Chain A
Amino acid sequence: NAGVTQTPKFQVLKTGQSMTLQCAQDMNHNSMYWYRQDPGMGLRLIYYSASEGTTDKGEVPNGYNVSRLNKREFSLRLESAAPSQTSVYFCASSPTTNEKLFFGSGTQLSVL
């Protein structure tokens, strides 16, 4: 039972570098999300995709872009990484909107 799979698990970037975080779910869910977790801040929504073909900004979208490649896959791109983007990133999915979320195991990203 794979559920939500994120890659990579760890990444170190230099300021200004770019990278893409990959996420795939095998539960046939319509909605997918990207969150970041920072100490003392809980999880904050970066972007979400309510259904295939749509994406929308969440609470903290600046510095990020997303692509809903198909129903299974939702990627998060950092075009020019900054130290403020050092965080743990979680991908999640849900059957439809406003339902419980199923999370991946996270990507720990450090930007030096």
Chain B
Amino acid sequence: DQQVKQNSPSLSVQEGRISILNCDYTNSMFDYFLWYKKYPAEGPTFLISISSIKDKNEDGRFTVFLNKSAKHLSLHIVPSQPGDSAVYFCAASAGNNNDMRFGAGTRLTVKP
């Protein structure tokens, strides 16, 4: 069962505009949420995270929003840059459980 879902396989935005990537989860025990970025032929790299006690976390151009009641989180990238073009994975884990669950990924393309 896919406990973390990214329903948009791809997203295309213009350079300078906002990119919004969405993620839904089903397991109410998840309390730690992360976004990873992956370039071709490389492993995923950590981008930003948020714990369930917060509803927003910001790091430069990247902001993650968490809506626990809707079991939904989103990643905002403002302004988007061509170098942001990559696959973005949403991930979630619960307590001390090592089983971090990943979504299927969203391929972001930022056009110059």
Q: Say yes or no: B42 contacts A33, CB within 8 Å.
A: no
How many residues of chain B have a CB within 8 Å of chain A? Answer: 28
Q: Quick check: is B99 within 8 A (CB to CB) of the other chain?
A: yes
- Chain B residues with Cβ below 8 Å from A24 are none
Q: How many A-B residue pairs have CB under 8 A?
A: 66
Tell me if A43 is interfacial: C-beta within 8 Å of chain B. yes
Find out whether the CB atom of A48 lies under 8 angstroms from the CB atom of B98.
yes
Write out, one digit per residue, whether chain B residues 89-101 have a CB within 8 A of any chain A CB (1) or not (0). Answer: 1010101111111
Of residues 30 to 78 in A, which have CB atoms within 8 Å of B's CB atoms? 31, 33, 35, 40-45, 48, 50, 56, 58-59
Query: Are A50 and B102 interface neighbours, CB within 8 A?
Result: no
Q: What is the bound-complex CA distance between A101 and B104, given in angstroms? A: 17
Q: Is A84 an interface residue (CB 8 A)?
A: no
Given contacts A41-B2, A98-B32, A101-B46, 12 further A-B contacts (CB under 8 A): A4-B43, A35-B102, A42-B2, A48-B98, A59-B99, A98-B98, A100-B34, A100-B46, A101-B44, A103-B44, A105-B42, A105-B43
17 inter-chain pairs at a CB distance below 8 angstroms, sorted by A residue, are: A31-B98, A40-B9, A40-B104, A42-B2, A42-B89, A43-B89, A45-B101, A50-B98, A92-B43, A97-B96, A98-B96, A98-B98, A101-B44, A102-B46, A103-B43, A103-B44, A106-B41
Listed from nearest, the 7 A-B pairs whose CB atoms lie closest are: A103-B43, A42-B102, A43-B102, A100-B46, A42-B104, A48-B98, A103-B44
Q: What residues make up the interface of B, taking CB atoms closer than 8 Å to A?
A: 2, 4, 6, 9, 32, 34, 36, 41-46, 49, 89, 91, 93, 95-105
